[in-house]
Structure 1
Amino acid sequence: MSAASTTQLVACAHGTRSVQGQQVIAALVADLRRLRPELTVHEAYVDVQEPAVATVVPERVPSVVVPLLLSTGVHVRYDIGAAVADRPSRAADPLGPDPRLADLLVRRLREAGADGADHVVLAAAGSSDPAAATAVREVLAALRARWDGPVEVAFGAAAQPSVPEAVQTAREAGAARVVVASYLLAPGHFHSALDRAGADLVTAPLGPDPVLAQIALDRFDHALLG
């Protein structure tokens, strides 16, 4: 029996009070089960919602915790790290960076009606972890390679510039229309704040979309090999 057939997957999201956000994560977990029906998939969270990841990771059965998060940070390093410590489990990499996320961002921009004449602000949640900032910069570079028009990055918290600051700077520089590209997984507190940033358009978050489950399963497989 292979390791893949005996190892369980713990899909660990941040958690949100937004009903729409909860539905997006539920759809992502459902996609995981649909794409890999032979795999046991558990749902867990690091904040706001239950069950907490530390209570879900099996004590004796091998498992891989896949962060349903777009970059590393305190939740990956400490919450998930503590949950797998002293257990036959390991933590996978978060969903980002990944070129498929840049493709999804382009799709969301087009769905919102954006075009190359617009000034795009890539809006990430933000983190004090330098590795998270590096990951976002990789996604920024990938989006710039795919989008005909100016693209800058801004953050919801813990990093600069803020999204409202980036929107204002673009307007002062003469942008006719400013579009915020939401680099967020699901509706919730940070995505709601984007609507108040002063942009002309705000894209939908990345989820729901089956590609997110495909990335998560790739992270699971890579962790098994690693």
Structure 2
Amino acid sequence: MLAPPALLAISHGTSSESGAAAVAALVDAVAEAAPELRVRGGFVDVQQPDVPTVLGALPEGSGAVIVPLLLSAGFHVHVDLAEDAAAVDGAVVARALGPDDRLVALLARRLDEAGLDASDAVVLAAAGSTDARAVADCAETALRLGALLGREVAVGYISAARPRLSDAIAAARATHPGRRVVVASYLLAPGYFADLAADAGADIASAPLLAAGTPVAPELVAVVRDRYTAAR
């Protein structure tokens, strides 16, 4: 019987030690939840091994499903990872992790942990992308979070897209005078972007989905496994 394709959990990469540890913990949790699979981690940028190296280390003809540990599908998914997969027979790219209602539920839990109040205005902080498809994914996540919380959720971007997070926070203050503005950090792990989200001018910012010093959320593990299964 042929072995199933490997699951390559590919993240962006980070220079943050806490961020790298958080993503590594997610990869380990996926491997523990799926012992029948060869689970390997890799990176699009910053860290090693890169995707071609991970693919090249697999047994010839074994097949692989690249699961992007990215919250929206932008350039890295549609171009970088697609090109990497196209260069290797039997490799395919799965969907990005979001939008997904399980991630929305996790966002709501992180907001609750941060002390969200019923009167607070909420702004979703996303990394941002020059790819309109990624921006649309983030807007969809904000809509779903708003439906779950029972209030409008604006979106602000840390890089590449508009409105900038600081501008979205300022607009929320103007629209809801006297109310706190709370940032929902739609970021996978601690690091540079999470720090920028926390310092963008809101009263409170929630932790990223992989919160430092806490166990990996089962929702994230389940989404990664489902992306693998669907692409396989």
Match of 1:194 among 197, 213, 220: 197
Structure 2 unaligned blocks of 5 or more: 211-215
Q: Which piece of structure 1 moves more, 131-140 or 215-224?
A: 131-140
What pairs up with 1:157-168 in 2 under 5 angstroms? Answer: 157-168=159-170
What pairs up with 1:85-124 in 2 under 5 angstroms? Answer: 85-87=86-88, 88-124=90-126
Structure 1 position 210, deviation (Å): 2.2
Q: Give structure 1 regions of 4+ aligned residues with deviation exceeding 3 angstroms.
A: none
CA distance in structure 2 between the aligned counterparts of 1:54 and 1:79, rounded to whole angstroms: 11
Residue of structure 2 equivalent to 1:176: 179
Residue of structure 1 equivalent to 2:217: 209
Structure 1 position 169, deviation (Å): 1.4
TM-score with structure 1 setting the length:
0.94
CA contact (8 A) 2:143 2:153 kept: no
Residue of structure 2 equivalent to 1:41: 39
* 1:34-91 alpha-carbon deviations (Å, 9 max, x no partner): 1101110111000000000111114532010000000111111222112111321100
Structure 1 position 148, deviation (Å): 3.0
Q: Which amino acid aligns with 1:195?
A: A
CA contact (8 A) 1:182 1:204 kept: yes
Q: Which amino acid aligns with 1:45?
A: F
CA contact (8 A) 1:28 1:210 kept: no
Structure 1 unaligned blocks of 5 or more: none
State the superposition RMSD in angstroms: 1.3
Q: Which amino acid aligns with 2:79?
A: Y
CA distance in structure 1 between the aligned counterparts of 2:192 and 2:26, rounded to whole angstroms: 19
Residue of structure 2 equivalent to 1:72: 73
TM-score with structure 2 setting the length:
0.92
Structure 1 position 175, deviation (Å): 4.3
Q: Which amino acid aligns with 1:24?
A: A
CA contact (8 A) 2:130 2:161 kept: yes
State the number of aligned residues.
Answer: 222
Q: Which amino acid aligns with 1:72?
A: A
Identity of aligned residues (%): 45
CA distance in structure 2 between the aligned counterparts of 1:61 and 1:69, rounded to whole angstroms: 24
Q: Which piece of structure 1 moves more, 172-181 or 38-47?
A: 172-181
CA distance in structure 1 between the aligned counterparts of 2:178 and 2:69, rounded to whole angstroms: 34
Structure 1 position 31, deviation (Å): 0.9
